[in-house]
C-alpha cells in the first residue's frame, strides 16, 4: 500500500522518520512521502530523513506548546494552510492512504493531529488514518487526560485509528522512556511491513496481499490494532504448518499493539517469509482460527514473500474498540481530566472572596 506519512509532534516525527527509513532500507517503496510537523524547532532539527514544517512560530517561537494540547490544536488550526502547502506534491496521485502519526499524550501531536486529519479529509479522496501512540499506564495524569481527548477527536475525524500502547511493545522492567527506541523500532518494522505487504517486492516474487485488503479491513473504522510474532522457519513443511499457527496465535494473543484487543469487526492475517516456507494449509488453518478468536466473519488472509529465514504473522484488527485495555485507558483519562478540573476549581475558589477586582 502506497502511503504518505505526516508526523505531528516529537513522537510523531521520530516514528515517521523511522518508518520512512525502514521502508527505504528494505527497498519496499511503500512510503511515498514523509513530512514532520512540530511547534518545537529543536525536535525538527534532530530529524534527518524527512521534510519538516514548523508551526506556531508566532505563538510559541519554536519552543513547543509544552503539554498544552489545546494550544497544540490552536497552532495547527492557525497554520493549517502552510502545512497543506508543504504537503502539496508530496501526497502524489500514487498514495493510496495517508497516515497522520502522533503521540497522543503530549501537546503538539495530541492537539494538532486531529485538526490535521480533519483538513486532510476535505482535501484528499484517499482514506486518512491516524497512527496514535497511547501513553503507558505509568505516564502522568496530564498524558492520560490529553490522550483521552485526542483519541476521542481522532475517532471522530479519521477513517480509522491504529493504536500503539506504549506498554505493549517493549520488554518487561524497561522504563517507558528507555524503551522508546525499542518501541519505535518495532512500530517501524511492523507497521512498515503492513504498508509493504500490499507491494510487490522486487527479487522476491509477487505479493498476494492487495492494498485494498488493508483498506477493507480498516473500513470498519474506529480503533485498529496490529499484532506481530515470528519464529525461525524450518526445512520441514509439517513443522512450518505448526509454526504458522503458533506465530499467528502469538501475534493476536500476546503481540498486539493494544493488549487484550482480541475481538474485532474485521481482520487481516499476513504470513511473511520465504515463498516456499509459507504453508498453504497452515495459512488457511490460522485464518480460520483467527475468525473464531476475533468473532469476525471478515478475516482476510494472504502471504508476503520476504527474503528471511523466519516465518512472521502480522495481524491487523479493524473495529477493535471493545477491548478491556481501551476501557481502562478511557477510565484513566476521564479520572485525570476530572482531577485537573477539580484542581483548577480549587485554585479559583481560593481567590473567590478576595476583595480585589478582576482586571476584566
Ligand atoms: P508533542 O511533541 O507535544 O506532541 O509531545 P510528544 O510527542 O513528546 O508526546 C508525548 C507522548 O508521546 C507521551 O505519551 C510520550 O510517552 C510519548 N512519546 C514521546 N516520544 C516518544 C517516542 O519516541 N516513542 C514513543 N513510542 N512514544 C513517545
Mutate to test the pocket of ligand 1, among 59, 103, 114, 116 (most ligand atoms within 8 A of CB): 103
Alpha-carbon gap, residue 122 to 140, rounded angstroms: 35
Instruction: Find out whether the beta carbon of 120 lies less than 6 Å from any atom of ligand 1.
Output: no
- The 10s digit of each residue's pLDDT in 167-177 is 999 877 777 67
Rounded to the nearest angstrom, the distance between the alpha carbon of 260 and the centre of ligand 1 is: 22
Q: pLDDT value at position 354?
A: 56
Give which of 237, 239, 301 is closest to 271, Cα–Cα.
301
Mean pLDDT of 159-186: 89
Q: What is the mean pLDDT of the chain?
A: 91
Could you give the dihedral angle defined by the CA atoms of residues 300, 304, 310 and 314, in that order, rounded to the nearest 10 degrees? Answer: -40
Tell me, in angstroms, the distance from the centre of ligand 1 to residue 250's CA.
27
* 206 in a known ligand binding site: no
Task: Give me the pLDDT at residue 168, please.
Answer: 93
Give the distance (Å) from ligand 1 centre to CA of residue 169.
15
Q: What local confidence, expressed as pLDDT, does residue 32 receive?
A: 93
- Rounded to the nearest angstrom, the distance between the alpha carbon of 185 and the centre of ligand 1 is 14
Q: Is 108 in the pocket of ligand 1 (CB under 6 A)?
A: yes
- The predicted-structure confidence for 200-219, as pLDDT tens digits, reads as follows 655 544 557 888 999 999 99
The pLDDT, as a whole number, for residue 355 is: 64
pLDDT at 349: 57
Residue nearest to atom 18 of ligand 1 (CA): 11
End-to-end CA distance of the chain: 55
Please tell me whether 255 is known to bind a ligand. Answer: no
pLDDT at 119 exceeding the cut of 80: yes
Residue 175: count of CB within 10 angstroms of its CB? 10
Question: Residue with the nearest Cα to atom 25 of ligand 1?
Answer: 180
109 is in an annotated binding site: yes
Does residue 18 sit in helix, strand or coil?
helix
Which one has a higher pLDDT value, 340 or 223? 223
205 among the known binding-site residues?
no
132 in Cβ contact with 154 (< 8 Å): yes
Q: Which CATH class is domain 3-196?
A: alpha beta
> Which DSSP state fits 201?
P
- The domain limits of the chain are 3-196, 226-318
270 - beta bridge partners?
302, 314
DSSP of 227-257, one letter per residue? EEEEEE--S-HHHHHHHHHHHHHHHHHT-BS
Percentage of residues in the chain having pLDDT higher than 70: 92
Mutational test site, ligand 1, from 76, 133, 329, max ligand atoms within 8 Å of CB: 133
Q: Is the CB of 103 under 6 A from ligand 1?
A: yes
- Does the annotation list 166 as a binding residue? yes
CATH, range 226-318: 3.30.1330.20
Distance (Å, rounded) from C-alpha 113 to C-alpha 157? Answer: 10
CB–CB of 275/283 below 8 Å?
no
Is 136 among the annotated ligand-binding positions?
A: no
Average pLDDT over residues 90-113: 94
In short, whether 184's Cβ falls inside 6 Å of ligand 1 is yes
- Least reliable range by pLDDT among 54-58, 259-263, 296-300, 339-343: 339-343
Q: What is the mean pLDDT of residues 226-246?
A: 97
pLDDT in tens, 8-55: 999 999 999 999 999 999 999 999 999 999 999 999 999 999 999 999
Instruction: Check pLDDT > 90 for residue 4.
Output: yes
Closest CA to 303 of 357, 254, 233: 233
Q: Do residues 55 and 37 lie in contact, with contact meaning Cβ atoms separated by under 8 Å? A: yes
Distance 31 CA to ligand 1 centre (A): 22
Q: Cα(101)–Cα(99) distance, rounded to whole angstroms?
A: 6
* 331 three-class SS: helix
Centre of ligand 1 to C-alpha 292, Å, is: 35
11 is in an annotated binding site: yes
List Cβ neighbours of 60 (8 Å cut-off, separation of 6 or more). Answer: 39, 71, 75
Q: What's the pLDDT at 178?
A: 73
Least trusted range by pLDDT, from 134-138, 262-266, 288-292, 353-357: 353-357
C-alpha cell at 275: 515463498
Burial 14-46 (b: 16+ CB within 10 A, else e): bbbbbbbbbbeebebbbbbbbbbbbbbeebbee
Share of the chain above pLDDT 90, in %: 75
Cα within 13 Å of Cα(111), Cβ side:
24
Percent helix, strand and coil across the chain, each to the nearest 5: 45, 20, 30
Distance 18 CA to ligand 1 centre (A): 14
pTM comes to: 0.93
Sign of CA dihedral 105, 68, 70, 122: negative
So what's the ipTM on this one? 0.99
Angle of CA points 144, 145, 147, to nearest 5°: 65
pLDDT over 90 at 229, yes or no: yes
Check whether 356 has a pLDDT greater than 70: no
Please write the tens of the pLDDT for every residue from 56-82: 999 999 999 999 999 999 999 999 999
pLDDT tens track for 341-353: 776 655 555 555 5
Identify the pLDDT of residue 322. 76
User: What pLDDT, on the 0 to 100 scale, is given for residue 5?
Assistant: 97
Amino acid at each position: 500500500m502506497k502511503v504518505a506519512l505526516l508526523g505531528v509532534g516529537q513522537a510523531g516525527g521520530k516514528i515517521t522518520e523511522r518508518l520512512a527509513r525502514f521502508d527505504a532500507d528494505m527497498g519496499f517503496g511503500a512510503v511515498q512521502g514523509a513530512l514532520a510537523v512540530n511547534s518545537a524547532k529543536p525536535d525538527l532539527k534532530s530529524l534527518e530523513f524527512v521534510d519538516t514544517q514548523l508551526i506556531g512560530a508566532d505563538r510559541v517561537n519554536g519552543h513547543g506548546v509544552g503539554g498544552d494540547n489545546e494550544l497544540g490544536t490552536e497552532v495547527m488550526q492557525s497554520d493549517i494552510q502552510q502545512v497543506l502547502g508543504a504537503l502539496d506534491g508530496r501526497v502524489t496521485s500514487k498514495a493510496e492512504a495517508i497516515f497522520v502519526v502522533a503521540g497522543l499524550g503530549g501537546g503538539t501531536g495530541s492537539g494538532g493531529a486531529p485538526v490535521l486529519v480533519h483538513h486532510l479529509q476535505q482535501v484528499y479522496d484517499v482514506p486518512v488514518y491516524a497512527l496514535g501512540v497511547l501513553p503507558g499506564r505509568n505516564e502522568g495524569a496530564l498524558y492520560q487526560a490529553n490522550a483521552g481527548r485526542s483519541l476521542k477527536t481522532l475517532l471522530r475525524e479519521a477513517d480509522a485509528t491504529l493504536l500503539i500502547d506504549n506498554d505493549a511493545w517493549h520488554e518487561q522492567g524497561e522504563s517507558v522512556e528507555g524503551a522508546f527506541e525499542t518501541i519505535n523500532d518495532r512500530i517501524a518494522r511492523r507497521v512498515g511491513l503492513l504498508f509493504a505487504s500490499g507491494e510487490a517486492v522486487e527479487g522476491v516474487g509477487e505479493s498476494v496481499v492487495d492494498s485494498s485488503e488493508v483498506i477493507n479491513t480498516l473500513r470498519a473504522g474506529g480503533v485498529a490494532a496490529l499484532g506481530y510474532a515470528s519464529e525461525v522457519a524450518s526445512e520441514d513443511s509439517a513443522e512450518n504448518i505448526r509454526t504458522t499457527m503458533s506465530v499467528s496465535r502469538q501475534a493476536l494473543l500476546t503481540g498486539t499493539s493494544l493488549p487484550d484487543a482480541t475481538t474485532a469487526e474485521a481482520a487481516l492475517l499476513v504470513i511473511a517469509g520465504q515463498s516456499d516456507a509459507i504453508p498453504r494449509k497452515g495459512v488457511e488453518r490460522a485464518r480460520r482460527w483467527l475468525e473464531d478468536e476475533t468473532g469476525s466473519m471478515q478475516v482476510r488472509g494472504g502471504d508476503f514473500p520476504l527474503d528471511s529465514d523466519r516465518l512472521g504473522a502480522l495481524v491487523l484488527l479493524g473495529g477493535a474498540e471493545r477491548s478491556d485495555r481501551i476501557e481502562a485507558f478511557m477510565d484513566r483519562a476521564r479520572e485525570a481530566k476530572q482531577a485537573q478540573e477539580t484542581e483548577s476549581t480549587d485554585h479559583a475558589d481560593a481567590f473567590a472572596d478576595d476583595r480585589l477586582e478582576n482586571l476584566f
